[in-house]
């Protein structure tokens, strides 16, 4: 099965928003009604599910996901997941990769907002995905239209079976009123609510990974384009978490050695109105925030910028020349 992040048929929300169910960011499977064949934690693994022929354990066939035993009583199986950040959910992927005769015929999702680690018995669970039919060995992408922030999910399987992966794409909620004025905040951080609008090529790695916390763990943890065989350059457009005045830019090429870009530059604008799709053409003509800069392999590059000429911005176009891989992009700025 294709990696959903790079799956050309996956909806835009899978590339645009962070996975709020990513355990690397703090998400956790808290409780499952049953996990006889495969543990609930496996369902949140950031890597695509794999199938290993001939691999068995004490409980039977080893499966890469969460799998319950065959239910011989009434009711259904469920699992409660604490999201990495409280956030607004824009879409989910219920992935049954490699589950063929053992996938659930149907599933639904509920969500709640709870202050503690574990929701109280009185938690107000809201249905965000109505019970839907599932197929074996495929991704089920479902858009969610609910502006409320949630902290926990309950995945219901009807009546039992296996789910390879759960992805929950959304925007974290931050209390911006508590940010000290004049202090610098990374306005390109996905955990602050920034997101990828578009990128011209993401052959080896999704551009949204540049916005993830921490340094990249390997060459797969960043944005990498194919080798460019025509004129021009590769680019990615990022919507900032909040409008701001950019003071400092960091471009990290960690782990990219024979394939880092030769140079990079940034254009920026304050955008009001229009759609994300309409920005792709506009961005070519945005004013320059950072002139072309030479890059090195496996290195954190820091650039100070004077934002006065552009004023507060909401979006940037990050250009790499001609192609290659970048691990992280940080845009430190003051809130406008």
Query: What's the pLDDT at 109?
Result: 98
E strand or H helix at 107, and its extent? strand 106-112
The dihedrals phi and psi of 9, each to the nearest 5 degrees, come to -90, -5
In tens, the pLDDT along 235-254 reads 999 999 999 999 999 999 99
Q: Report yes or no: 307 and 281 within 8 Å, Cβ to Cβ.
A: no
E strand or H helix at 14, and its extent? helix 13-16
In tens, the pLDDT along 72-93 reads 999 999 999 999 999 999 999 9
Query: What's the pLDDT at 6?
Result: 60
Q: How far apart are CA 73 and CA 294, in angstroms?
A: 65
Q: The whole model's pTM is what?
A: 0.84
Low-confidence ranges of the chain (pLDDT < 70): 1-6, 307-308
Q: How far apart are CA 10 and CA 108, in angstroms?
A: 20
Query: What's the pLDDT at 2?
Result: 37
Q: What SS3 class is residue 285?
A: helix
The two three-digit tokens of residue 250, written as one number? 């960091």
């Amino acid at each position: 099965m294709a990696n959903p992040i790079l799956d050309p048929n996956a909806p835009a929300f899978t590339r645009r928003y962070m996975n709020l169910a990513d355990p690397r960011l703090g998400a956790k499977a808290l409780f499952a009604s049953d996990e006889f064949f495969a543990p609930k934690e496996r369902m949140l693994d950031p890597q695509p599910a794999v199938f290993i022929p001939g691999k068995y354990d004490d409980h039977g066939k080893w499966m890469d996901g969460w799998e319950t035993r065959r239910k011989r009583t009434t009711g259904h199986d469920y699992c409660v997941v604490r999201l990495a950040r409280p956030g607004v959910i824009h879409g989910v992927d219920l992935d049954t990769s490699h589950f063929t005769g053992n996938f659930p015929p149907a599933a639904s999702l509920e969500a709640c907002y709870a202050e503690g680690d574990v929701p109280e018995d009185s938690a107000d669970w809201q249905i965000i995905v109505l019970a839907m039919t599932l197929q074996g060995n495929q991704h089920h992408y479902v858009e969610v239209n609910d502006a409320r922030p949630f902290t926990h999910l309950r995945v219901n399987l009807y009546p039992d079976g296996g789910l390879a992966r759960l992805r929950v794409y959304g925007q974290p909620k931050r209390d911006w009123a508590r940010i000290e004025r004049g202090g610098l905040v990374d306005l390109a951080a996905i955990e602050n609510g920034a997101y990828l609008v578009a990128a011209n090529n993401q052959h080896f790695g999704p551009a949204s990974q540049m916005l993830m916390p921490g340094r990249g763990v390997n060459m797969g943890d960043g944005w990498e384009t194919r080798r460019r065989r025509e004129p021009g350059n590769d680019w990615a457009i990022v919507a900032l978490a909040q409008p701001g005045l950019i003071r400092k830019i960091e471009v990290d090429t960690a782990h990219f050695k024979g394939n880092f870009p030769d140079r990079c530059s940034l254009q920026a604008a304050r955008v009001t109105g229009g759609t994300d799709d309409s920005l792709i053409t506009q961005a070519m003509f945005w004013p320059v925030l950072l002139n072309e800069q030479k890059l090195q392999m496996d290195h954190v590059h820091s650039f100070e910028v004077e934002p006065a000429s552009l004023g507060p911005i909401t979006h940037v176009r990050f250009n790499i020349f001609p192609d290659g891989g970048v691990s992280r992009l940080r845009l430190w700025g003051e809130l406008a």
